[in-house]
Amino acid sequence: MVDSMVRAMTWNIWWRFGPRWRDRQPGIRATLERFRPDVVALQEVWAGAGTTQAHELADALRMHAVFAAPSYPPAPRDPDAADRDDIDLGIAVLSRWPILDHEAPVMPARHRSWDPVALSVRVDHPAGPLPVVAACLDYGVPYTDDRIAQGAFVADLATDPRFDGPCPVLLMGDLNAAVDSPVLRPVRDVLTDAWSAGNGAADAVTLPSTHPSAPLEAGPQMIDQRIDHIFFRPGREDQQVLVEGVRLAGEPVEGVHPSDHRAVVADLRWRG
């Protein structure tokens, strides 16, 4: 029996925040071209003027894209900044294979005045439908009740029996919590952390304080932690899923940081 594989990637690409956001766009594309992921979950994706950042990347990389909004954080409204006013902020999935279907369920958020969504997608992997759940969870530590509720929500979504099938189910995103956080306990209980399964470094960081624009106000629960994750579960009882390797991505390109987050990349192989 021939094994099946997927290279998965998750990355918070920092919307239009930070200085000279346009200068970062070539580095985002170059990073995706370098690692050539099969499926990508993107967070803090901009959309406006009849297009989205995800679709522009997909067109350039010959991939397929789906976008959903709103997500975290709220997009600032600044009528004095023409390149930021009326620009939405959401999440997206890119895939090298066609997208079969998608949904954008609303996550619990009692403390927010908007309805943040997750994104569930099935892509047409050669082995069969590959389910991907993409999300960005609440970052507000005072609202940890919402954060825990959202962790349980995405865990429940990723374990929905309708996603059972020939491929593993992937949960990817900026989950705004370290892997051992109570926020992610519902996820850890039912899914496997690809970074740990792939023998990734225990001290890996995806939101480094060394970044020139690091959001230090986010505090020690976020800063210098691995808060961006790829989790998975087998699609069938007899399916064995192996993590062939994991790595971080998103180093500066020609001296420019593509994002304030590092991306996580995982190579998964399965049979059965």
> Can you give the pLDDT of all 272 residues of the chain as single tens digits?
679 999 999 999 999 999 999 999 999 999 999 999 999 999 999 999 899 999 999 999 999 999 999 999 998 877 666 677 789 999 999 999 999 999 999 999 999 999 999 999 999 999 999 999 999 999 999 999 999 999 999 999 999 999 999 999 999 999 999 999 999 999 999 999 999 999 999 999 999 999 999 999 999 999 999 999 999 999 999 999 999 999 999 999 999 999 999 999 999 999 86
Burial class (CB in 10 A: 0-12, 13-18, 19+), 168: buried
- Strand duo 4-12 + 39-48: pairing: parallel
Four-CA torsion 176, 178, 180, 185, nearest 10 degrees: 10
Joined tokens for residue 147: 């954060």
Show the CA angle centred on residue 96, arms to residues 9 and 31, nearest 5°: 45
CA distance 179 to 181: 6
pLDDT (0 to 100) of residue 84: 77
Residue in the structure block whose two tokens are 């691995």: 226
CA–CA distances in Å: residue 15 to residues 61, 155, 260: 19, 26, 10
Beta bridge partners of 170: 132, 232
Sorted by where each starts, the structural domains of the chain and their CATH numbers stand as 4-271 (3.60.10.10)
pLDDT (0 to 100) of residue 1: 62
Yes or no: say if 118 and 104 are a contact pair by the CB < 8 Å rule.
yes
How many whole angstroms from its chain centre is CA 54? 12
Q: Which of 156, 46, 32 minimizes the C-alpha distance to 95?
A: 32
Residue type at 272 in one-letter notation = G
CA distance 31 to 27: 6
pTM, full prediction: 0.97
